[in-house]
Structure 1
């Protein structure tokens, strides 16, 4: 039963919280059909949770290409960073998900967007030895000479992490 003395400034009611939880869980689980319906009914495509994670961030990080596509086609912003300064492209590179990296770039993600410590998607792919993603990002214009906050390039980060495949690829470029 709703508290009739509740002020609109007291925050969301239990039903609203339940619905929001359902929506964010659907993004994590990749429920593309639900999002087709909800977005057509007016769900904001850039809705965020208490951590600043957008629906797109959650769907892409958890590898749900079709749900991510639906969100992007309905106006979700691939450049929304969460409260920790993370972006969907860096998350996809970290996870080694080339189809997701491709989809995000096709829909406007900045190839050289950085986290607060200056790391790019290329750096994450290099550090975790995701050679296909390194090659793809380089082909899409990623800067192999970009430096993160400690002055390290993707090549140096790959070497520090023992990521031999990506270290060799970047070294061959003279990066």
Structure 2
């Protein structure tokens, strides 16, 4: 057994950082097929960046429904908050990404999770169609 400590830990390995940066960019740009290949190769579906943003957060915020769907189908936590307490659903509501919002709701995202929550964002920006989606009994 090698007792020598590595010069840099896995959190600081430049190759790992470069790979993670690449994977986050795939989520940001909606390159679903390439991202799926990375997930198949073992990249964690709930990988987070230095701001606590997950792959699904980035895909949702940038309006990529197919990528959001892939990540949710692979088990991504649709309610995972970033370091500012924001959820993917709240980001999608803020950006007006209707299809992404529907996908996240279909995968169990909680409209009342996070700060501000998707519910609060919909109220703040007068997006009543989201409030009706979140709670069909809303008038």
TM-score range with shorter-chain normalisation?
Answer: 0.7 to 0.9
- Structure 1 gap ranges (5+): 145-172
Residues of 2 paired with 1:40 and 1:9: CA distance? Answer: 24
2:13 maps to what in 1?
13
> Which protein, 1 or 2, shows the higher relative CO under an 8 Å CA cutoff with sep ≥ 6?
2
SS in 2 for 1:9: coil
Q: Is 1:102 the counterpart of 2:102 in the alignment?
A: yes
1:130-149 equivalences in 2 (<5 Å): 130-139=127-136
User: Where does the alignment leave 5 or more consecutive residues of structure 2 unmatched?
Assistant: none
Cα 1:126–1:42 change in 2 (3 A) is same
State the match for 2:28 in structure 1.
28
Aligned to 1:92: 92
Q: Aligned-pair RMSD on alpha carbons?
A: 2.1
TM-score normalized by the length of structure 2 = 0.87
Preserved contact between residue 87 and residue 117 of structure 2 (Cα < 8 Å): no
For residues 137 and 16 of structure 1, do their structure 2 counterparts lie closer, same or farther at Cα, with a shift above 3 Å needed? same
Contact (CA 8 Å) 2:11, 2:17: kept in 1 or not?
no
TM-score for both structures, normalised by structure 1: 0.70
What do residues 107-141 of structure 1 show as CA deviations (whole Å, max 9, x unaligned)? 121132131xxx331221122232322221221x7
Q: Does 1:125 align with 2:122?
A: yes
Distance 1:10 1:27 in 2: 22
Question: How far 1:11 sits from its partner (Å)?
Answer: 4.1
The question of 1:77 aligning with 2:111 is answered no
Query: Residues 114 and 16 (structure 1 numbering): CA distance in 2 closer, same or farther, change over 3 Å?
Result: closer
> Contact 2:53–2:82 (CA<8 Å) still a contact in 1?
yes
Residue correspondences, number: 136
Report the structure number with the largest CA radius of gyration: 1
